[in-house]
């Protein structure tokens, strides 16, 4: 018989050695308008989502100046300021917005300076706990961008620095300038293109924050997730989130939603303790790795 012993996972992770957060966080991209553009359809519900997240014990919220743009950060401050002492707000800079679903990259220091100043103002903070470079800009020497991040950290405007959508080589280059405490790459149970980056982060003591953690884009993956979910009275998406928590102890989850009900469903995934047998079955879901 297979071992049906459930596997316990760590509930918290400490970012950069001094910011301890629950591993189930919240991604605040979806509290904006369609195409991540403009205000949300239901502003009151967006405020309720943020407040409910904190009530549920979430103390890691991920956002960006480009979400809206500006809207997500403004709503976070409106809903939650003055902030709970243990709340970590991570934001990002490095993308422009020219319209719905349009995301040109700009990681030039001049733009990042304005972006950071705007984020500090909107979030009503003197210092960003975790500031993440949203994208490496092919039009700007990486060294110039890194020198900017190094400078604002030295100035005390940023506590810790993270990166997004980067390779191991790019992380290593960045570490010549700053301590990198987190990496946010696209990753899910059926899209593991960045597995080497995850494992590198794990070895180096960095948080790994998967964005789009619920892609589950192919039929076989959904069938497997639903099959396992039936044993736990859980949805496919809850199992996909739970698998991430089991897969590596440095993974922080930031599933996003604009609905309180959906938020509560996502948070329940952190209570699902999977068995060794089911983890082995879920490990076989890799077919979309090369889907692009």
Contact 265, 20 (CB under 8 A): no
Beta strand residue intervals within 78-125, DSSP E: 88-93
Contact 89, 61 (CB under 8 A): yes
Q: In which region does residue 212 sit, left (phi positive, over 0), alpha (psi from -120 to 50) or beta (all else)? A: left
Cα–Cα distance for residue pair 202/206, rounded to 1 Å = 6
Contact 69, 75 (CB under 8 A): no
Beta strand residue intervals within 1-116, DSSP E: 12-15, 19-22, 26-27, 60-62, 88-93
Angle between helices 43-55 and 260-268 (to 10 degrees): 30
6 alpha-carbon distance from chain centroid: 26
Phi then psi dihedrals of residue 45, to 5 deg: -65, -40
> Which residue out of 67, 177, 187, 232 is catalytically annotated?
67
Cα–Cα distance for residue pair 275/24, rounded to 1 Å = 20
Nearest partner of 208 among 226, 184, 178, 190, judged by Cα: 184
Active site residue 83: no
**Residue whose pair of structure tokens reads 């790459």 in the numeric block:** 185
Q: Which residues are identified as catalytic? A: 67
């Amino acid at each position: 018989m297979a071992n049906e012993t459930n596997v316990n996972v760590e509930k918290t992770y400490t970012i950069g050695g001094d910011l301890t957060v629950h591993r189930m966080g919240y991604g605040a991209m979806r509290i904006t308008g369609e195409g991540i553009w403009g205000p949300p359809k239901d502003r009151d519900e967006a405020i309720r989502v943020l407040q409910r997240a904190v009530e549920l014990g979430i103390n890691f919220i991920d956002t960006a100046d480009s979400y809206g743009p500006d809207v997500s950060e403004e709503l976070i401050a409106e809903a939650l300021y003055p902030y709970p002492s243990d709340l970590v707000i991570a934001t990002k800079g490095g993308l422009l917005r020219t319209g719905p679903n349009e995301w040109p990259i700009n990681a030039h220091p001049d733009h990042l300076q304005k972006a950071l100043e705007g984020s500090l103002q909107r979030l009503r903070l003197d210092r960003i706990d975790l500031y993440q470079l949203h994208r490496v800009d092919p039009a700007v020497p990486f060294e110039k961008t890194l020198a900017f991040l190094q400078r604002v950290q030295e100035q005390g405007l940023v506590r810790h620095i993270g990166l997004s959508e980067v390779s191991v080589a790019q992380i290593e280059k960045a570490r010549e300038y700053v301590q990198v405490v987190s990496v946010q790459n696209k990753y899910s149970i059926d899209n593991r293109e960045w597995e080497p980056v995850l494992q590198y982060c794990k070895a180096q003591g960095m948080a790994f924050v998967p964005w789009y953690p619920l892609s589950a884009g192919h039929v076989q993956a959904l069938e497997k997730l639903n099959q396992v979910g039936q044993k736990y009275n859980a949805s496919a998406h809850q199992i996909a989130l739970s698998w991430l928590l089991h897969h590596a102890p440095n993974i922080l989850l930031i599933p996003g939603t604009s609905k309180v009900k959906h938020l509560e469903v996502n948070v329940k995934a952190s209570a699902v303790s999977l068995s060794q047998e089911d983890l082995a079955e879920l490990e076989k879901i890799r077919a979309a790795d090369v889907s692009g």
